[in-house]
Chains A and B, each alone.
Chain A
Amino acid sequence: MQGWMEFWDNFIVMLPQLTEKFGVTVSIFVLTLLFSLPLGLLLAFGRMAKNGLLCLMSKIYISVMRGTPLMLQLVIVYFAPYYVFGIKITNSWRFGAVILAFVLNYAAYFAEIYRSGIASIPVGQYEAAKILGYTRGQTFGKIILPQVVKRILPPVTNEMITLVKDTSLAFVLAQVEMFTVAKQFAASQASVMPLMVAGVFYYFFNLLVASLMEYVEKKLNYYR
């Protein structure tokens, strides 16, 4: 009974703070998606470009971003203004650096997902559109992209779920988000309970993300 009461007291203190910083977690998630999804598409265009240099540069970029730890990329992005441009790093840059690093990293993964999606559309779709007189832009926007979106939903959902959990990496730049708070509580209470609670937060957030994406998938199920 004693232990249970103590747990409850700690829980009551912890919950508002975790919830508050969960807002930061969600912000990182939303902003990263908002910018990395379009950037990934541009990168996929670069990767598929006929221009050899553009293609090579995109390929190298994707290879480096996927091949090195996001944690390292966070540190590099954070210190880059100082080491490259000699600009003094201020506190307000912290959150910006987190978002920029996440966007640059996730765009690389999304680029490859887009590329596989675009490559899976039969050539006949392009040919039919060409014969009917669609411009290249109209063909991509009206005929190809909607079909690509449907096909890439499952792998994109995967990346989104990974992103939810990756937000905890923001701690390397001392950006306080939910998991940072949970770790502080775990240390002060000498208990893993706060980390478990954080885990429950992540789980339910991901459940929401997955359900939402499942709903979108169903919505697009009207054709094959």
Chain B
Amino acid sequence: MRGGMRGNMAGKVLLEIRHLKKYFDGQEILKDISLTVREGEVVSVIGPSGSGKSTLLRCAAMLEKMDAGELAYMGERAAYEAQGRCIYAPKEDLRRIGRRFGLVFQNFNLFPHYSVLKNVMDAPVTVGHLSKREARERAEQLISRFGLADKKEAYPCQLSGGQQQRVSIARALAMQPKLLFFDEPTSALDPELTGEVLKVIKELAKEKMTMIIVTHEMQFAKEISDRVIFLEKGEILAEGCVEEVFSSGQARIQDFIGKVTH
């Protein structure tokens, strides 16, 4: 647990989700979720499989369309509700808003035909219109910071899962997002490799990077989160600082945490 929770209450609101609803094949996956994330906060989303954690993240990152509700980044609306439907902002606005966040995927999704260096520097050049020299400098800094300096010419298939995930975090950071989403960043890794990725995320937390992390690593969530959200069956069952949620009196939450940690 980090002590900054109170101080962060004053931070600028980066992400605001209000009354989000999402259906798949007529089944309600997310039921009226509201969530505010402020600058510098680290928020973990935990809960059993199928509870809608990843869907929530994907809706926030606009990989899935919401069926109802509002979504805003830094006060700018990306989607709002009108006449019972969810209306998204024009494409160009969404592209600009999308530059404010990054996402780290469960299975990395690195570009296999690009070297490590190119994976990290291509988007800043292609999308961010950075010069090649600047983008390379930025990429090399990130790569060596994550301990991959000797791998910068390697291709993703030559790396371990942990190394690939660190590259994908570097790739996301190269676009200098205000907020970073992690969708179960260690679920595809064995325990040995999980540690090296969690270490990187912890370092980012120390630097007050705003992050929303969907994870099954309870100990990790406990250590780095300002706030924990417990999701079940598409609803927020509990939300608060680590102690509040982890020592919550609710039997369901105790049951889940007990099962996962022992």
A residues near B (Cβ < 8 Å) are 122, 124-125, 127-135, 138, 142-143, 146-147, 150, 222-224
**B247, chain A: closest CB distance, angstroms:** 35
Q: A128-B111, A131-B61, A133-B99 are in contact. Are A138 and B126 (CB under 8 A)?
A: yes
9 shortest interchain CB distances as A-B pairs: A124-B109, A128-B109, A133-B127, A132-B123, A224-B157, A223-B155, A131-B103, A223-B112, A146-B113
With the chains together, A128 CA to B156 CA distance in Å? 14
B63 interfacial contact with A, CB 8 Å: yes
**B183, chain A: closest CB distance, angstroms:** 10
8 additional A-B residue pairs with CB within 8 Å, beyond A130-B63, A223-B112: A124-B105, A129-B111, A131-B61, A132-B127, A132-B172, A132-B175, A138-B127, A147-B112
Q: Which of B112, B113, B171 contacts A132 (CB 8 A)?
A: B171
With the chains together, A142 CA to B155 CA distance in Å? 16
A131 adjacent to B98 (CB under 8 Å):
yes
B109 adjacent to A133 (CB under 8 Å):
no
A127 adjacent to B112 (CB under 8 Å):
no
**A150, chain B: closest CB distance, angstroms:** 7
Q: Which of B109, B110, B113, B172 contacts A127 (CB 8 A)?
A: B109
- Enumerate 7 A-B pairs (CB-CB under 8 Å) in ascending A order: A127-B63, A127-B109, A128-B109, A130-B98, A147-B113, A150-B113, A223-B113
Q: Which of A131, A146, A150 contacts B102 (CB 8 A)?
A: A131
B113 adjacent to A133 (CB under 8 Å):
no
Those of B156-191 within 8 Å (CB) of chain A = 156-157, 168, 171-172, 175
Q: Which residue of B lies closest to A141 (CB)?
A: B126
**A34, chain B: closest CB distance, angstroms:** 25
Q: Which residue of B lies closest to A220 (CB)?
A: B113
With the chains together, A131 CA to B97 CA distance in Å? 11
**B45, chain A: closest CB distance, angstroms:** 18
**A152, chain B: closest CB distance, angstroms:** 14
Q: Which of B102, B110, B112, B168 counts the most A-chain CB atoms under 10 A from its CB?
A: B112
With the chains together, A150 CA to B113 CA distance in Å? 10
With the chains together, A132 CA to B180 CA distance in Å? 12
Q: Which of B61, B98, B110 contacts A133 (CB 8 A)?
A: B98
B95 interfacial contact with A, CB 8 Å: yes
B residues near A (Cβ < 8 Å) are 61, 63, 95, 98-99, 101-103, 105, 107, 109-113, 122-123, 126-128, 155-157, 168, 171-172, 175
With the chains together, A130 CA to B102 CA distance in Å? 10
**B138, chain A: closest CB distance, angstroms:** 14
Q: Which residue of B lies closest to A146 (CB)?
A: B113
Q: A131-B61, A131-B103, A133-B95 are in contact. Are A125 and B109 (CB under 8 A)?
A: yes
**A111, chain B: closest CB distance, angstroms:** 23
Q: Which residue of A lies closest to B155 (CB)?
A: A223
- B172 proximity list for chain A (CB < 8 A): 131-132
Q: Which residue of A lies closest to B61 (CB)?
A: A131
**B181, chain A: closest CB distance, angstroms:** 9
- B102 proximity list for chain A (CB < 8 A): 131-132
B157 adjacent to A223 (CB under 8 Å):
yes
A223 adjacent to B99 (CB under 8 Å):
no
With the chains together, A143 CA to B156 CA distance in Å? 14
- A147 proximity list for chain B (CB < 8 A): 112-113
**A186, chain B: closest CB distance, angstroms:** 49
- A138 proximity list for chain B (CB < 8 A): 126-127
With the chains together, A146 CA to B103 CA distance in Å? 23
- A125 proximity list for chain B (CB < 8 A): 109, 111
Q: A133-B95, A134-B127 are in contact. Are A127 and B122 (CB under 8 A)?
A: no
Q: Which residue of A lies closest to B123 (CB)?
A: A132
Q: Which residue of A lies closest to B58 (CB)?
A: A127
- B123 proximity list for chain A (CB < 8 A): 132-134
- A142 proximity list for chain B (CB < 8 A): 122, 126
- A133 proximity list for chain B (CB < 8 A): 95, 98-99, 123, 127-128, 175
With the chains together, A224 CA to B157 CA distance in Å? 6
Q: Which residue of B lies closest to A127 (CB)?
A: B63
Q: Which residue of A lies closest to B175 (CB)?
A: A132
A134 adjacent to B112 (CB under 8 Å):
no
